């Protein structure tokens, strides 16, 4: 199989955390070999968003990059006792319905495979990944990458058929340097910036150059609980002269935030927005980041060398991530339920963090061992190497 015939398949769906890394890896593969053919597989519900994420790359490689969608099912489980899970009739009905979606997704995947004949498959996990990789498990070598130290359900199953498995986060502090912990592909713009560059960036965004600045983000789709926390504390933060950049994740949430802004003493210090394609720049201008404890956020913080207050969602992986970071002394951790009942504690925590430069420096120093640069290039090369070996 020549390089002109070769197709590398990148699979991931459901969230930006599963799809954005695919775009970074695809871009690196095109840089290494402009003739490579790449197919992106995602789930039907995230197909349009995937098209947006790949818009620029697809435009410059329209003959060599194709995006496909397959049906994907979910198996819902909420960490309850087995009896409670089984007795939850609504959940079990949804799981049965999604079982049919999974079967349909496997059939769709087999039809796509008749066209693609992949040389290698990279699985990032998420909705649709299990279906495609099951259909392709005997057709090509599979490489799995999971952002967390504990694989998600799809990757845990696909991993049984995989030639290589890589992780973004270590399983513990003792495993920081394990060879299979390679980090998470994030944009190369997530990097340290000095004070002069921070001032220039703030000026370019028409921000107050002198004010302590906090970036609040709940991920690409925002986080309802974090939004609620900001709504009920922004008046006090504004009175303290703290500049807040608030990524809400939706137009409705931004509309609500803008109504609140009108009532502030200094509205210019509060900048709510739905979503930004320049999050790396916003990290750069911030003195402090408030966000979830997802693995991608942690990688961005480590690479950009930014201190943070992390509020883990009620998911085991984020709780585990937060516990490890707390043990490392790498971030301030807050529980969202505690903050929503006692928002004054969040105000005090933010005020303390932005006013204590030595604290922020110590958090950054403790987070630095997690920094990983050029992960996209690393994984692209590994994937290309495997495809070459398997198709000699």
Domain boundaries along the sequence of the chain: 7-186+374-390, 195-370
pLDDT at residue 339, as a whole number:
86
Q: Given this model, what pLDDT does residue 175 score?
A: 85
From CA 74, how far away is CA 129, in angstroms rounded? Answer: 11
- Please give the residue that has the higher pLDDT: either 52 or 83: 52
Mean pLDDT, residues 230-258: 96
| 101: Cβ contacts below 8 Å, ≥ 6 apart | 71, 72, 73
The pLDDT value recorded for residue 81 is 61
Contact predicate 290/307, CB 8 Å: no
CB 296, CB 279: distance < 8 Å: no
Find the range with the poorest average confidence among 15-29, 49-63, 250-264, 308-322: 308-322
Judge whether residue 1 has pLDDT over 50. no
Confidence of residue 392 (pLDDT cuts 50, 70, 90): very low
DSSP conformational letter for 63: T
Instruction: Give the mean model confidence (pLDDT) for residues 370-389.
Output: 93
Q: Which tokens sit at 127? A: 């909705």
pLDDT at 315: 64
CA distance 140 to 163: 10
Under the banding of pLDDT at 50, 70 and 90, the label for residue 296 is very high
Q: What percent of the chain lies above the pLDDT cut of 90?
A: 74
Q: 240: burial class by Cβ within 10 Å (0-12, 13-18, 19+)?
A: middle
| Intrachain domains 7-186+374-390 and 195-370 with the same fold | yes
195-370 CATH choice from 3.40.50.2000, 3.40.50.10860, 1.20.950.20, 2.40.50.110: 3.40.50.2000
In the chain, % of residues over pLDDT 70: 92
Q: Is it true that domain 7-186+374-390 has CATH number 3.40.50.150? A: no
More confident residue, 224 or 193: 193
Tens digit of pLDDT for each residue in 61-85?
Answer: 989 999 999 998 877 665 556 666 6
Average pLDDT over residues 320-349: 92
Mean pLDDT of 278-285: 95
| Average of per-residue pLDDT across 160-176 | 91
Model confidence at 338, pLDDT cuts 50, 70, 90, reads confident
């Amino acid at each position: 199989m020549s390089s002109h015939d070769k197709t590398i398949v990148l699979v991931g769906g459901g969230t930006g955390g599963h799809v954005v890394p695919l775009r970074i890896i695809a871009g690196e593969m095109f840089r290494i070999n402009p003739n490579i053919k790449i197919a992106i597989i995602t789930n039907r519900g995230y197909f349009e968003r995937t098209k947006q994420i790949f818009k620029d790359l697809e435009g410059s490689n329209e003959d060599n990059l194709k995006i496909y969608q397959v049906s994907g099912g979910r198996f819902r489980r909420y960490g309850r006792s087995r009896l409670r899970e089984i007795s939850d009739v609504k959940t079990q009905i949804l799981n049965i319905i999604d079982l049919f979606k999974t079967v349909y997704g496997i059939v769709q995947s087999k039809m796509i495979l008749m066209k693609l004949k992949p040389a290698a498959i990279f699985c990032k996990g998420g909705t649709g990944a299990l279906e495609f990789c099951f259909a392709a498990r005997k057709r090509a070598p599979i490489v799995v990458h999971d952002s967390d130290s504990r694989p998600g359900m799809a990757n845990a199953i696909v991993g049984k058929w995989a030639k290589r498995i890589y992780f973004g986060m270590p399983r513990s502090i003792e495993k920081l340097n394990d060879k299979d912990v390679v980090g998470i592909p994030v944009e190369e713009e997530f990097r340290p910036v000095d004070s002069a560059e921070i001032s220039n960036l703030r000026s370019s965004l028409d921000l107050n150059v002198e004010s302590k600045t906090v970036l609040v983000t709940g991920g690409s789709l925002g986080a309802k609980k974090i939004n609620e926390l900001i709504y009920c504390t922004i008046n006090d933060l504004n009175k303290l002269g703290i500049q807040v950049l608030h990524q809400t994740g939706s137009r409705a949430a931004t509309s609500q935030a803008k109504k609140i802004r009108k009532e502030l003493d200094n509205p210019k210090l509060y900048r709510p927005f739905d979503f930004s394609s320049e999050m790396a720049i916003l990290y750069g201008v911030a003195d402090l980041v408030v966000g979830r404890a997802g693995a991608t956020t942690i990688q961005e913080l480590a690479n950009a060398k930014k201190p943070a207050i992390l509020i883990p969602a009620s998911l085991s992986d984020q709780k585990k991530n937060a516990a490890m970071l707390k043990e490392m002394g790498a971030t301030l951790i807050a529980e969202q339920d505690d903050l929503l009942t006692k928002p004054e504690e969040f105000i005090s925590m933010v005020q303390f963090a932005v006013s204590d430069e030595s604290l922020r420096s110590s958090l950054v120093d403790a987070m630095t061992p997690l920094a990983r640069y050029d992960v996209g290039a690393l994984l692209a090369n590994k994937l290309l190497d495997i495809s070459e070996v398997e198709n000699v």
